[in-house]
């Protein structure tokens, strides 16, 4: 009876938390391909209104994509998959870019000559890099924030799992301890990548994309390697806990 009580102390939701978090991570898993931008519209050199219309179209595309990101951040916060601080940091970056694009649109819409309007359109790409830099970076940040929180939730069940294993029949302990040790090792592997991944984000900027592409590309590849390791480790840790729970039923 005491063993059964101990087993029941392992939260029933811990497997669901791992699955929910990892499913969500998979849904927003970083990808090198985001929404394709329409090919630049051809405008006559002196056609100011053509440049304005083209610029407004490109800005609207980017505003819509940022709004979608903002909605995903809000959804993940409402699901308690990220903290309010994590959500606020991401929403602040979305807001900064949306405000910047809105200001650029206001400037573009009142331009009186084609050269100035054309430069404003070029700045949509050069200054903001929404599809090339901001969205890939911020979706990766959302991914990492969720991974950190999944790790915490998986780590927090360790004491109860250990107590349940200690009270398990002797014939089950070897298998349980093997799974439990692997679970702890997998969490350690994931955690070993967190600082590295977080340290990569400052280099993922439009300026580096424009003028220091080698550094930008190398940093992005390094970040993706860390995120892949994190995802694989957390997935295995969740599987270990799931197997332990099945044995302890």
Q: Is residue 18 part of a domain?
A: yes
Q: Which of 150, 133, 155 is nearest to 203 (CA)?
A: 133
Unique residue bearing structure tokens 């197997």? 243
**Domain membership flag for residue 32:** no
Q: 129 lies in a domain? A: yes
Q: Are 97 and 134 in contact (CB under 8 A)?
A: yes
pLDDT of residue 115: 97
Neighbouring C-alpha atoms within 13 Å toward the C-beta of 155: 14
Q: What is the pLDDT of residue 2?
A: 46
How many CB atoms neighbour CB 74 within 10 A? Answer: 14
Answer whether 172's CB lies under 8 Å from 247's CB.
Answer: yes
**Domain annotation covers residue 33:** no
Is 109 part of a structural domain of the chain?
Answer: yes
Please report whether residue 2 resides in a domain. Answer: no
Task: Please tell me the predicted confidence (pLDDT) of residue 24.
Answer: 55
Structural domains in the chain (count) = 1
Q: How far is 26 from 88, CA to CA, in rounded Å? A: 22
Give every CB contact of residue 184 below 8 A, 6+ residues apart in sequence.
Answer: 158
DSSP category for residue 124: I
Residue 113 within a domain? yes
Dihedral, CA of residue 85, residue 88, residue 89 and residue 95, to nearest 10: 180
Q: Cβ contacts of residue 179 below 8 Å, gap of 6+?
A: 240, 243, 244, 247
Containing domain of residue 207, as a range?
Answer: 10-26+38-247
Q: Phi-psi region for residue 129, left (φ > 0), alpha (ψ -120 to 50) or beta?
A: left
For residue 27, CA distances in Å to 75, 76, 118 come to: 13, 12, 38
Measured on CA atoms in the order 194, 9, 178, 167, is the torsion positive or negative? positive
What's the length of the chain?
249
Per-residue model confidence (pLDDT) at position 220 = 96
Is the distance from CB of 154 to CB of 187 less than 8 angstroms? yes
Give the pLDDT score at 67: 98
pTM of the model: 0.88
Report the SS3 class of residue 168.
coil
What's residue 32's pLDDT? 46
Tokens of 101: 């694009």
Burial environment of residue 113 by CB neighbours within 10 A (0 to 12, 13 to 18, 19 or more):
exposed
Indicate whether 43 belongs to any domain. Answer: yes
Per-residue pLDDT of the chain (249 residues; tens, 9 = 90+): 444 444 445 555 555 455 555 555 555 554 444 655 555 678 999 999 999 999 999 999 999 999 999 999 999 999 999 999 999 999 999 999 999 999 999 999 999 999 999 999 999 999 999 999 999 999 999 999 999 999 999 999 899 899 999 999 999 999 999 999 999 999 999 999 999 999 999 999 999 999 999 999 999 999 999 999 999 999 999 899 989 988 987
* Per-residue pLDDT at 248: 86
Tokens describing residue 32: 């090198």
């Amino acid at each position: 009876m005491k063993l059964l009580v101990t087993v029941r102390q392992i939260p029933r939701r811990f497997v669901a938390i791992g699955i929910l978090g990892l499913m969500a991570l998979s849904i927003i898993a970083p990808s090198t391909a985001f929404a394709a931008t329409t090919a630049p519209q051809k405008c006559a050199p002196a056609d100011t209104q053509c440049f304005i219309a083209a610029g407004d179209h490109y800005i609207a595309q980017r505003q819509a994509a940022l709004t979608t990101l903002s909605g995903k951040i809000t959804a993940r916060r409402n699901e308690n998959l990220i903290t309010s601080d994590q959500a606020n940091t991401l929403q602040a970056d979305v807001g900064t870019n949306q405000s910047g694009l809105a200001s650029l649109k206001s400037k573009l819409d009142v331009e009186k000559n084609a050269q100035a309007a054309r430069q404003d359109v070029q700045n949509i790409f050069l200054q903001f890099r929404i599809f090339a830099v901001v969205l890939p970076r911020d979706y990766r940040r959302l991914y990492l924030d969720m991974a950190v929180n999944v790790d915490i939730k998986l780590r927090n069940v360790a004491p109860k799992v250990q107590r349940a294993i200690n009270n398990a029949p002797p014939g089950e302990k070897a298998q349980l301890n093997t799974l439990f040790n692997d679970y702890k090792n997998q969490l350690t592997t994931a955690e070993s990548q967190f600082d590295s991944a977080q340290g990569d984000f400052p280099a993922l900027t439009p300026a580096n994309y424009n003028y220091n592409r080698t550094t930008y590309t190398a940093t992005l590849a390094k970040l993706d390697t860390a995120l892949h390791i994190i995802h694989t480790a957390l997935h295995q840790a969740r599987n270990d806990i799931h197997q332990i729970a099945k044995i302890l039923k």
